[in-house]
Structure 1
Amino acid sequence: MVCRCVRRSILSSSTDRRRRAGSTGRGSVAREEDSRESRDPAPAVTRSIRLLGLLAAAEPRTLTELAGELGLAKSSTANLCLALEAGGMIQRTSAGYRLGLRTAELGGAFAAQFNQVREFYSVCEASEVLSGELVQVALLDGAESLYLARHEGSRSLRLGTPLGSRLPAALSATGRALLMSMSDDEVVALLGHDAVFPQLTERGARNMTELLEVLAAARRRGWALDAEESFRGVVGVAVPLEPWAPSDPALALGVAIRAPEADFERIERVGEALRAAARQLTNPFSAAARR
């Protein structure tokens, strides 16, 4: 009997310790979350940015869906939506919330702050070759190309990537043009030695070894090629642009061509026209222009 009582006492003590430890652990987690929240100088702004990111990545979302993905109460999410809607950043529709017109204005203002983006339209119009082509400007954002500007050309085309869209830099012509300006070591450091690239079509480079071979060929000829590797039926040709100012991001200039029309002569003609345009879009006082 004494043994059973002692055993019950030990078990009870052990259970109490586990409960106290569990309570302490839960309290520690809560305190850590509170600490993270308190370290955020503007939690409402951070949540608003996350909300805009959700709307940028998908179709319209309902208040319930947004609240669930943000991990917030519907009342808190509703307050964020009201503020963003009042500022024109989002719109409420019958299907839910979507991005508002103000986001388009801000995107245009971001692109227009770079001299090369402002000037590229007139350079394309003045080019005998590029005036009829779909020409796009992109920058490198991590491992992706982000499209900033678009010259439609005189051909009736529905090609290319919508403004604000992204493509894997390893597969797109503009992305490769940006990567070809870097050393192999820099490309590996950015994308990872063991990187495996998504197969958007059956033609794309699959790994770093294949990508480095593609980039070496691009450097030799002076322009990058996407031979139906990011979109079936579309061939991309692109060149890098030297940053206008030291603080500017590196940009790339690319053309999308329908695959049936992309014979070698046209690709080469477009590539040379893009190189000429890149020279025109180089700061005349930069080291690159003096070379």
Structure 2
Amino acid sequence: MSVIEVEKGAQAPAVLKAVRILDLLALSPGRARSLSDIARELGIAKSSTSNLCASLEEGGLIRRSGGGYLLGRRAVELGSAYLAGFDQIREFYRICEESEVLTTQLVQIAMLDGARVLYLAAYEGRERFPLSAGVGDRYPSSATAVGTVLLAELPPDEVEALYADPNRLVTFTDRSTKDLETLQRKLKMTRERGYAIDEGEIHLSVVGLAVLVPSTRSGEPSFGIGASLVHPNDSPEERARVLAALRMAAAELTRPTIVPVEK
């Protein structure tokens, strides 16, 4: 999985290289990466990597652990401050706790991050499944229900451009979406029915359902809220109940648009 690429002619290449280091450490939480590993994987000279890591460490964004580096406390603080900017994330846990249906489900909320989704919150009303995403995890958008409902908000030409590189269509099982044509069909169906479904694309025994929490303010992202069900123990009745609860949650999380009153 690639990390952020430095664009040619960038105004501040050192800053972008520092972001690439943070992104690399975020992709392997809890696993310290040595200076040599970082330099080799990112293709940055070891001397430059050393200087960048020293600056990031001084700023508290990374920390030393044994013979390598991990994300630092400051990265957590910045992430928390970012999430605090979204009222919906603060409300997410309350809504799940108070919902008769969602309180017993594994529910997640995420935002689109290119060809991936970034999970912002997870309510664990039941035991986690294998490969269940946690806060801060990134999964391929094309294989997840929350990713599918967010991609469905994009016009087909933007989806085609996003997946110009077929390697972005990451597969986990034989049910995972493998090509752009299949993805476009899945997104069309999602738009028509108003919700997304993951039929064992991440894990064969897990079905994901997701609906959109659309953005109503300029500059803010839309969110996808979804729940994971055990298959084949789930039933059409259970899916309908969970889907209805997700739609109610999404409606409550969607900020009302303020319409100016004409004088």
Bin the TM-score by the shorter chain.
Answer: 0.7 to 0.9
Alignment: residue pair count = 248
* Residue in structure 2 matched with residue 257 of structure 1 by the alignment: 229
**Counterpart contact for 2:109–2:119, Cα < 8 Å:** yes
Distance 2:134 2:238 in 1: 24
- Percent pairwise identity: 41
Structure 2's unaligned 5+ residue stretches are 1-7
Which of 48-57 and 183-192 deviates more?
Answer: 183-192
Q: Which amino acid aligns with 1:52?
A: L
* Residue in structure 1 matched with residue 106 of structure 2 by the alignment: 134
Cα distance, 1:206–1:78 mapped onto 2, change above 3 Å: closer
Q: Displacement, 1:60?
A: 1.9
Cα distance, 1:88–1:202 mapped onto 2, change above 3 Å: same
Which of 179-188 and 262-271 deviates more?
Answer: 179-188
* Residue in structure 2 matched with residue 146 of structure 1 by the alignment: 118
**Counterpart contact for 2:119–2:138, Cα < 8 Å:** yes
1:124-175 deviation line (CA, Å, top 9, x unaligned):
222111122111111111121111111222x233452022222221211001
**2:220 aligned with 1:248:** yes
Distance 2:14 2:182 in 1: 44
* Residue in structure 1 matched with residue 169 of structure 2 by the alignment: 197
Distance 1:205 1:128 in 2: 33
Pair member with larger Rg: 1
Distance 1:284 1:140 in 2: 21
Cα distance, 1:192–1:51 mapped onto 2, change above 3 Å: closer
Cα distance, 1:231–1:284 mapped onto 2, change above 3 Å: same
**Counterpart contact for 1:225–1:236, Cα < 8 Å:** yes
**2:41 aligned with 1:71:** no
Which residue of the other structure, out of 72, 78, 85, is the alignment partner of 1:106?
A: 78
* Residue in structure 1 matched with residue 4 of structure 2 by the alignment: none
1:206-252 deviation line (CA, Å, top 9, x unaligned):
22232233223323432110011022322111001111412211111
Q: Which amino acid aligns with 1:72?
A: A
Structure 1's unaligned 5+ residue stretches are 1-35
Which residue of the other structure, out of 189, 192, 205, is the alignment partner of 1:233?
A: 205
Q: Displacement, 1:254?
A: 0.9
Cα distance, 1:55–1:137 mapped onto 2, change above 3 Å: same
1:71-105 deviation line (CA, Å, top 9, x unaligned):
3244x433332332232211211241111222122
Distance 1:196 1:63 in 2: 28
**Counterpart contact for 2:63–2:72, Cα < 8 Å:** yes
Q: CA RMSD, aligned part only?
A: 2.6
Q: Displacement, 1:108?
A: 2.2
Which residue of the other structure, out of 149, 157, 165, is the alignment partner of 2:128?
A: 157
Distance 1:63 1:196 in 2: 28
Secondary structure (helix, strand or coil) at the match of 1:170 reads helix
